Structure 1
């Protein structure tokens, strides 16, 4: 089967991938967005009741207004907004089509192979985010079915003994919401306190629940082992064994940097493993392959957000159009 040809292939159907598609559309370039999951898959995997820290206008793409009930929109409002953008602008996007490889061809283009078919493009934009690979605990029992690295809805955990690992927004949301649905909640936190990045309306809430003893917390602690009915926690005072039904491990996620390596994109040799790219054009060390969104930060996944990554789409298409002209 012959490869379908485009000017631009965009890998990743999150908000920044959609923004790249909008800019390509505006420039009259033929383009295709490839997403391995559902539309804005990372946002879909956020907790069901999540509220963004950003205001709605900072999440807008393509100059399309985002109207929400409150200044800070919810996950569901964001899903509705990006879906309506895709519909209204008739974005060319294929969902549930994971990219397997990107290879250069003899005619100065790239072959993009997915699990369904092959494509060919002069330019490739990688906007694949970082929500697909959880940071593992690396302990015995982590693969038990009672352990999850994604938290969705609190009702499931009602009246259960729940252990939440982590101290940032996702962990705090999971702890507070499951506790309010009647769960017996314990937090295990590696540091000495709740994370500094926790949303300002949630931080005093979780701190007060811990202080009053409604939610138990072990600071400067980590999980040593997980069993079917218990969790063993390593604390400053020694090992503590807790009865347990479910473990919600909110220890963060990481981008698929191995995918970048396989393509040939260079990464920094430090622990950040930041990809090499030009800040002005977003072009990597590979000609006509660009990065957009949070993946530009490597393992520093908290340096880039939707609101400060939207400009990447404009930079990339400007660079492409400059080459065309």
Structure 2
């Protein structure tokens, strides 16, 4: 494969990757965004009926207005917004191209993908965290009835469904499946529904549990999964319950292996990468981090509304070096 030369490579075409591309474009820098999936791939894989916790103005990038029907937009409105931002600004993005390796040479970065090889002076990693689910590590997790992603409720009608977790995604899935006619049980490691669950949803799930519409097993974990049932470890002992599907929404992780392969230092406990909070430059000179990936395993720490600024910090630092003038 012949090397393609550019000034800046941005890895990840989510909202923060798009924000970085906009900063490059307004400065007339030669850049390329590489995304292994669809545009805003994580948002695309969100549940179809998901509503954001943030209001639309807090999801805006580069002060481009985001108009939604309600103060808190839904998934489809977000997809449309970021698509229009991308296409109307003619951003330079390669979709369905996976980065395999990033190597820092003496003066430039060498980036290898499944389609091309590139050389660049700067690299920005804005890959998010939604592609690698936290596994249960129990027998039967590889059965076809088990999924770590939830899209919609229709296929769970009249089925016995176990939802694992107590976060926003788990609560949304449990409520929607219940209201579409599924028989829902929740298996929750902690003693209560998560405190960060959306404030207008939390009372709903608590009431459904208290009235018995949704069965919740607190301080409990799945021990094994079989075709027609599964075993739960509870404070009262093991229980076997009928089961047709398991929706394990236990969270997701950034691609730490990619960061490690670049030489980025990670903390031992929460895998937080080393970077300068003012410039977003990692311990590898010329390699920047943006968005949720900056939080390591604390994937709730950074999100769109509070990491939009990362793009401007990175661009300001690169601009100060005057390497493209």
Question: Contact 2:138 / 2:222 at 8 angstroms: preserved in 1?
Answer: yes
1:177 match: 176
Question: Contact 2:280 / 2:310 at 8 angstroms: preserved in 1?
Answer: yes
Give, in angstroms, the shift of residue 215 of structure 1.
0.4
Work out the CA distance in 1 between the residues paired with 2:189 and 2:26.
Answer: 47
Q: Does 1:82 align with 2:78?
A: no
Q: Secondary structure at the match of 1:316?
A: helix
CA RMSD, 1 decimal = 0.8
Give, in angstroms, the shift of residue 228 of structure 1.
0.7
2:98 match: 98
Summarize deviations over 1:108-130 as a string: whole Å, max 9, x none. 01111100011111000000000
Q: Does 1:274 align with 2:272?
A: yes
Q: Secondary structure at the match of 2:161?
A: strand
What are the equivalent positions in structure 2 for 1:38-187 lying under 5 Å apart?
A: 38-106=38-106, 108-187=107-186
Q: Secondary structure at the match of 2:121?
A: strand
2:308 match: 310
Q: Secondary structure at the match of 1:286?
A: coil
Summarize deviations over 1:243-291 as a string: whole Å, max 9, x none. 100000010001011110011001112x211100001110011110000
For normalisation by structure 1, the TM-score amounts to 0.98
Work out the CA distance in 1 between the residues paired with 2:77 and 2:3.
Answer: 37
Summarize deviations over 1:171-207 as a string: whole Å, max 9, x none. 0001000000000000000111100000011100000
Work out the CA distance in 2 between the residues paired with 1:219 and 1:102.
Answer: 43
Work out the CA distance in 2 between the residues paired with 1:155 and 1:19.
Answer: 35
2:317 match: 319
1:291 match: 289
Give, in angstroms, the shift of residue 2 of structure 1.
2.7
Work out the CA distance in 1 between the residues paired with 2:146 and 2:104.
Answer: 41
Summarize deviations over 1:41-84 as a string: whole Å, max 9, x none. 00111111000000000000122100000000000100010001
Give, in angstroms, the shift of residue 131 of structure 1.
0.5
Q: Secondary structure at the match of 1:19?
A: helix
Gaps of 5+ in 1: none
Work out the CA distance in 1 between the residues paired with 2:172 and 2:243.
Answer: 19
Give, in angstroms, the shift of residue 104 of structure 1.
1.9
Q: Secondary structure at the match of 2:321?
A: helix
1:213 match: 212
Give, in angstroms, the shift of residue 6 of structure 1.
1.1
Give, in angstroms, the shift of residue 216 of structure 1.
0.5
Work out the CA distance in 2 between the residues paired with 1:201 and 1:308.
Answer: 22
1:265 match: 264
Q: Secondary structure at the match of 1:308?
A: helix
Give, in angstroms, the shift of residue 105 of structure 1.
2.7
Give, in angstroms, the shift of residue 5 of structure 1.
1.1
Q: Secondary structure at the match of 2:100?
A: strand
Work out the CA distance in 1 between the residues paired with 2:87 and 2:66.
Answer: 14
Aligned residues: 323
Q: Secondary structure at the match of 1:273?
A: coil
Work out the CA distance in 1 between the residues paired with 2:283 and 2:127.
Answer: 18
Q: Secondary structure at the match of 2:316?
A: helix
Summarize deviations over 1:119-150 as a string: whole Å, max 9, x none. 11100000000001100011010011100000
Work out the CA distance in 1 between the residues paired with 2:45 and 2:2.
Answer: 35
1:223 match: 222
Q: Secondary structure at the match of 2:175?
A: helix
Question: Contact 2:2 / 2:116 at 8 angstroms: preserved in 1?
Answer: no
Q: Which moved more, 1:97-106 or 1:118-127?
A: 97-106
